[in-house]
Amino acid sequence: MNDFLSIEKKKFKSRLFMGTSKYPNHQVLLEALKVSGTEAVTVAIRRISLKKNDENILDILKKDFFIIPNTAGCYTVKEAVLTAKLAREALKTNFVKLEVIADDENLLPDVENLIPAAKELVKNNFVVLPYCNDDPIVCKKLEDIGCAAIMPLAAPIGTGMGIQNDYNLRIIVENAKIPVIVDAGVGTASDVAVAMEIGCDGVLLNTAVAEAHNPVMMASAMAKGIAAGREAFLAGRISKKFHARSSTTNKGKIETN
């Protein structure tokens, strides 16, 4: 089945995007990424060295994966835009996962700064993938700005709480004309499957795999959740009904009277 996810002109066969932090070591990271089937990974630019002579995670990843730099750790428009520009220069990519957070405690998006940062980056020809609240209005504004995809959270970063408001996500998916990729708060494979069943185009996760008791096994489970949820969405679930309905008909029923 040629079911590709297209973001701008880039096509992805896998709809699972993976973060690269919090893993016990690089070997576990690489094994988890391999079994997940992911093609694209995100890297926090503010937390690694971009000097050419310094060995870092980028050297390990760039041969096998499409790297999407992110602006994790940025709190202002100026910080986010500067970080994105540094990443573009160092990695030679226009893709950026835009994060502008409000504080260190909740790590929730700061919409007041996120929207102007997205505007400026779009004007500078970035392919902007903004991490945002699961707010249909905010998501529509980001789409209208020219973002290439929208990335509403399932729950706050790292909580593992899973999807807390599937109603909002359904509205976002229904109204969006660009890909919707759930980002943050996923805890296990069933969360991923639900996101895909709703009609989301992909899922980006990190902590749920990196901090699992067995990260490699969990990565495999996440890949299966993506596949199952996507197939269920494409197949079309039955409608929910208040009363029971028999799965067989009365045709040919044996009369006992």
Report residue 82 as tokens.
Answer: 């500067």
The two structure tokens encoding residue 207: 């902590």
What distance in Å separates the CA atoms of residue 208 and residue 191, rounded to the nearest whole number?
Answer: 10
Phi, psi of 152 (to 5 degrees): -70, 145
Q: Is 97 tagged catalytic?
A: yes
Active-site option among 9, 10, 22, 97: 97
Q: What is the 3-state secondary structure (H, E, C) of 180-236?
A: EEEECCCCCHHHHHHHHHHCCCEEEECHHHHCCCCHHHHHHHHHHHHHHHHHHHHHC
- How many residues make up the chain in this entry? 257
Query: Which of 100, 96, 101, 77 lies closest to 86, judged by CA?
Result: 96
Bridge partners of 96, per DSSP, are 128
35 three-class SS: helix
> What are the b/e assignments for 117-144, b being 16+ CB within 10 Å?
bbbbbbeeebbbbbbbbbbbebbbbbbe
Catalytic residues: 97
